[in-house]
Structure 1
Amino acid sequence: MKTLLAAYSGVLKGTGASVLSALQDLPSPPWPCKSKMKKHLQCFSVLQWVISFLALGMAATVLLVYMFCTDCWLIAAMYTAWLILDWNTPKQGGRRSSWVRNWTVWTYFRDYFPVRLIKTHNLLPSRNYIFGYHPHGIFCFGAFCNFGTEATGFSKKFPGIKPSLATLAGNFRLPVLRDYLMSGGICPVNKNSIDYLLTCSGTGNAVVIVVGGAAESLECAPGKNSVTLKNRKGFVRLALQKGSDLVPMYSFGENDAYKQVIFEEGSWWRLIQRRLQKIVGFAPCVFHGCGLFSGDTWGIVPYCKPITTVVGEPITVPKVEDPPPDMVDQYHAMYIQSLQCLFDKYKTRFGLKESDVLEIQ
């Protein structure tokens, strides 16, 4: 108060120097630090995606049912009618939005970990591709950031190639969530959807399949490099049927985003996980990250661990409408070898030791 009175008296006396000196003595407002604000924005950008993936679909479904019991029933009826008419859109290329893929929120998402995309070879826009993403992790943060958004510059690094990240078809049966996913170029991981992208959309399409799926997510843990691949040959058969080149990828750090309780095979908890995996298509994992405002507490916010996705060399695949089993086995073996070489070549560059090995189950 004395400082303000001094400044006021300086104005009355016409002494500008007194005013300036008095203003300089005023305490600074308690604005938050710029770096802290940026970190909070990064944290919220990741949290909104986690919550959206876990709860948006169910919350929208409950809200839609509730609206039928209120005066807003007409809005709910109109949306339901449109939902029925639009039901097959996810299986027919979806509804990609360049505007949504370039949201600023995804740059904060990228910088939180951070997520990086490494290109090792050029891809020809005159071909179609099936990308194999490894490992699954809990939420596939690297896959979503690299291929569901433009935060890491996929379109600039691979001009003429349009990525479509494939995820559980059940997500596209939930209102609002289905539209949110489609806007990022995400599609159902089923035969009809992938067939459409690889046969009815010309060339330059890349379908990204998380090959290990839910089974692989049950095995992920920080520092563990294990992929479920030995008996996963369906994507190779599909590549041969469509004449689409196979591209292996490995995402270093994907398993470090969360800590998971891994139950022993044969235990009751593991049996429950396996049964639910068969029924609903995904495995409920028991995991934790850090708290929203403190890394020392538990929460659902992932840990700030770098995630680096390395896109390997494409494997040229011929088009064979009905590939024999030995041909599928041949290209499957080539794919495993290529993935193994990719891991061994880049592991020390991205935080692993020379002695670390890739377990292929």
Structure 2
Amino acid sequence: MTPQADITSKTTPNLKTAASSPSKTSPAPSVQYKAANGKVITVAMAEQDDGNMGIFRECFAMVTMGIIMSWYYIVVILSLLCLVGICIFPAWRAVAATVFMLMWSAALLPLDYQGWDAFCNSFIFRLWRDYFHYEYVLEEMIDPNKRYLFAEMPHGIFPWGEVISISITKQLFPGSRVGSIGASVIFLLPGLRHFFAWIGCRPASPENIKKIFEDGQDCAVTVGGVAEMFLVGGDKERLYLKKHKGFVREAMKNGADLVPVFCFGNSKLFNVVGESSRVSMGLMKRLSRRIKASVLISYGRLFLPIPIRHPLLFVVGKPLPVVHKAEPTKEEIAATHALFCEKVEELYYKYRPEWETRPLSIE
């Protein structure tokens, strides 16, 4: 069953109540995605949306997400085993060499960053949305004749909320396409690079942001990046935003309005060893910057790399018009960035669900 968007004139239910429990008012299996204009946008989901997934569906969701979360380690371990087989076990040398070459040759295959609609509309995304009781709030419909840069936050250990939103935006924004930007390191790994290409994600660079807009798409950027992985946990929802102004510059240069996007619950999906210690987190952050890859020991459900089953509320705020010019000044960028931070704070406290009691800290 392919999800279909249907806008009806129902009155918007209470957001805090809806955030903690999926809607059960529709006769068909669905979750209601609310717009601020009083209408309800209903997008068909998986076979059940009442939180009772069934053991098989829940386990399948856990396994698939766990594979994605641990794929880096799978590739590293498999590569080491192949090298051991090549160097130490002559009887297995040919098999090990073949597996090693096939695996890493996949990292050289060209990618189509336009996204794979059949994959994004598939049952796997409906399954993941069910797992997280996923809800999507759209404050204002997007104008397909304009350009937008969706500035998404928080990153968390892994931006599951942002990844899953790809399957919804294709339904809510007919006539528009949204490309995204991800850490360049993930595009070095066979398998994982293909997954992100299938959802329309490109390596992070100003050139790729420009390419997305030139292809007639809007652009989504998780602005906190790897640095925000070190801000999870604690008694605050922490964003690494004050020093990140590049996305504002790119929006101004490419003639795109800025859209604040917040995914409540995204920073609650994993625990990090040492997350309560600023010293240990600071050391891991400096090491990560030096090797250009995150160095964190995180765990989720059952102490495995499986995200905790926690509600996700994905809120797309109203677009913020910005000055469009090829070479914006530092002062113009700083002024727009300051206004954007204010809009993020407003969005956070306006839609914060009952289960999110932490104050917001923009750092």
Question: Are 2:126 and 1:70 equivalent residues in the alignment?
Answer: no
Give the residue type in structure 1 aligned to 2:292: G
Q: Is the 8 A contact 1:308 1:350 kept in 2?
A: no
1:34 deviation in Å?
Answer: 8.2
Q: Is the 8 A contact 1:247 1:311 kept in 2?
A: yes
- Paired residue total: 305
Q: Is the 8 A contact 2:132 2:311 kept in 1?
A: yes
1:85 deviation in Å?
Answer: 6.8
Measure, in 1, the Cα distance between the counterparts of 2:93 and 2:195. 25
Q: In the alignment, which of 221, 235, 242 is matched to residue 254 of structure 2? A: 242
Q: In the alignment, which of 174, 177, 181 is matched to residue 159 of structure 1? A: 174
1:230 deviation in Å?
Answer: 1.1
- CA deviations on 1:301-323 (whole Å, 9 max, x unpaired) are 22111011100011122321111
1:234 deviation in Å?
Answer: 0.7
Give the aligned partner of residue 139 of structure 1: 158
Moved more, 157-166 or 237-246: 157-166
Measure, in 2, the Cα distance between the counterparts of 1:79 and 1:71. 12
Q: In the alignment, which of 305, 317, 321 is matched to residue 312 of structure 1? A: 317
Give the aligned partner of residue 116 of structure 1: 135
Q: Is the 8 A contact 1:252 1:350 kept in 2?
A: no
Residues 73-222 of structure 1 correspond to what in structure 2 (within 5 A)? 84=108, 86=110, 89=111, 94-147=113-166, 150=167, 153-198=168-213, 200-202=214-216, 205-221=217-233
Residues 231-270 of structure 1 correspond to what in structure 2 (within 5 A)? 231-260=243-272, 261-262=274-275, 264-265=277-278, 267=279, 269-270=280-281
Q: In the alignment, which of 343, 347, 355 is matched to residue 351 of structure 1? A: 355
1:73 deviation in Å?
Answer: 6.7
Q: Is the 8 A contact 1:143 1:165 kept in 2?
A: no
Q: Percent identity?
A: 22
Larger radius of gyration, structure 1 or 2? 1
Measure, in 2, the Cα distance between the counterparts of 1:155 and 1:111. 18
Give the aligned partner of residue 73 of structure 2: 55
SS in 1 for 2:130: helix
SS in 2 for 1:209: strand
* Structure 1: gaps spanning 5 or more residues: 1-32, 292-297
1:209 deviation in Å?
Answer: 1.3
1:277 deviation in Å?
Answer: 1.9
Give the residue type in structure 1 aligned to 2:356: L
Q: Is the 8 A contact 1:133 1:211 kept in 2?
A: yes
Question: What RMSD in Å do the two structures reach over aligned CA positions?
Answer: 2.9
SS in 2 for 1:246: strand
1:279 deviation in Å?
Answer: 2.5
- CA deviations on 1:14-57 (whole Å, 9 max, x unpaired) are xxxxxxxxxxxxxxxxxxx98222322232232232223x3355
* Structure 2: gaps spanning 5 or more residues: 1-51, 87-91
